[in-house]
Amino acid sequence: MTDVVQEWVMESVLWPERPTNWPPCPHHPRNHPLAAKVVQDRAVWVCPVDETSFYVVGSLPAS
């Protein structure tokens, strides 16, 4: 479900006004967004390249 919300935000909310790599990857902010993944029974945002976990889903810092 998180990936559906992420896709909606990128296409409907950000596309006309901002970059669509939401949420941006702290390691690669210009290259790709974070990906939602389950790690140790928790839904987290991870870098899709190096698999670093950054935030629990639902706790992204305000931008």
Beta strand pairing call for 35-39 and 42-46: antiparallel
**In this predicted model, what pLDDT tens digit does every residue of 11-61 receive, in sequence order?**
666 556 666 678 899 999 888 999 999 999 999 999 999 999 999 999 988
pLDDT of residue 15: 57
**CA separation for the pair 22, 2 (Å, rounded):** 12
Which of 35, 49, 26 has the alpha carbon at shortest distance from 2? Answer: 35
Q: What is the pLDDT of residue 25?
A: 94
Question: In Å, how far from its chain's centre is CA 13?
Answer: 14
DSSP 55: E
pLDDT above 80: residue 10: no
pTM for this predicted structure: 0.68
